[in-house]
């Protein structure tokens, strides 16, 4: 009798666990420059197996039927992203931000201004979890200073 009760309770708990996973599928918005507008949203959408989906203002990327949406803007720096806020009406569970490459490569936006712009972008998502990427290595430009400041900055003290 105890074995039957144990099996029954195990079945109930596993059923509840499976149901919980389906209910908790996440919405994720990649936001950034041409690196984000490239191929990675397609691969990310294909890797999401729990019903999570990519959202964003850009037309979906057609890749193996995934229809990945995103907020990627080739050539944009952090100020351009702030000036074009088509992404700001979304309320995803997670925002993947990769910005700053064009700030560094143009030489027109200081590191301090880039950090301020990133703060302003992050504040547009008060209910989202933010994943802020450091800048990938860029030949001919020193991204180390920006990445160091991203590491040092106290992002959530405001």
Element housing 43 (H / E): helix 40-47
Interstrand relation of 129-132 and 71-72 (parallel, antiparallel or unpaired): unpaired
The CA dihedral of 108, 113, 119, 121, to the nearest 10 degrees, is -30
| pLDDT tops 90 at residue 132 | yes
The CA distance from 96 to 101, in Å, is 15
Model pTM?
0.79
Which carries the bigger pLDDT value, residue 41 or residue 123?
Answer: 123
Q: Domains in the chain, ordered, with CATH?
A: 26-152 (3.40.50.1110)
Burial class (CB in 10 A: 0-12, 13-18, 19+), 124: middle
Please say if the pLDDT value at position 28 is more than 90: yes
């Amino acid at each position: 009798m105890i074995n039957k009760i144990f099996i029954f309770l195990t079945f109930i708990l596993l059923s509840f666990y499976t149901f919980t996973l389906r209910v908790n599928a996440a919405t994720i918005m990649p936001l950034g420059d041409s690196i984000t507008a490239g191929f990675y949203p397609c691969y990310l959408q294909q890797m999401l197996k729990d019903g999570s989906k990519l959202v964003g203002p850009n037309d979906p990327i057609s890749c193996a039927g995934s229809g990945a949406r995103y907020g990627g803007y080739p050539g944009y720096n952090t100020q351009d992203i702030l000036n074009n806020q088509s992404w700001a009406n979304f309320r995803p569970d997670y925002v993947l931000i990769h910005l700053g490459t064009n700030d560094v490569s143009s030489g027109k936006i200081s590191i301090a201004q880039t950090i301020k712009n990133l703060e302003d972008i992050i504040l547009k998502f008060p209910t989202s979890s933010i994943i802020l990427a450091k800048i990938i290595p860029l030949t001919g430009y020193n991204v180390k200073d920006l990445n160091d400041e991203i590491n040092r900055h106290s992002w959530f003290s405001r």
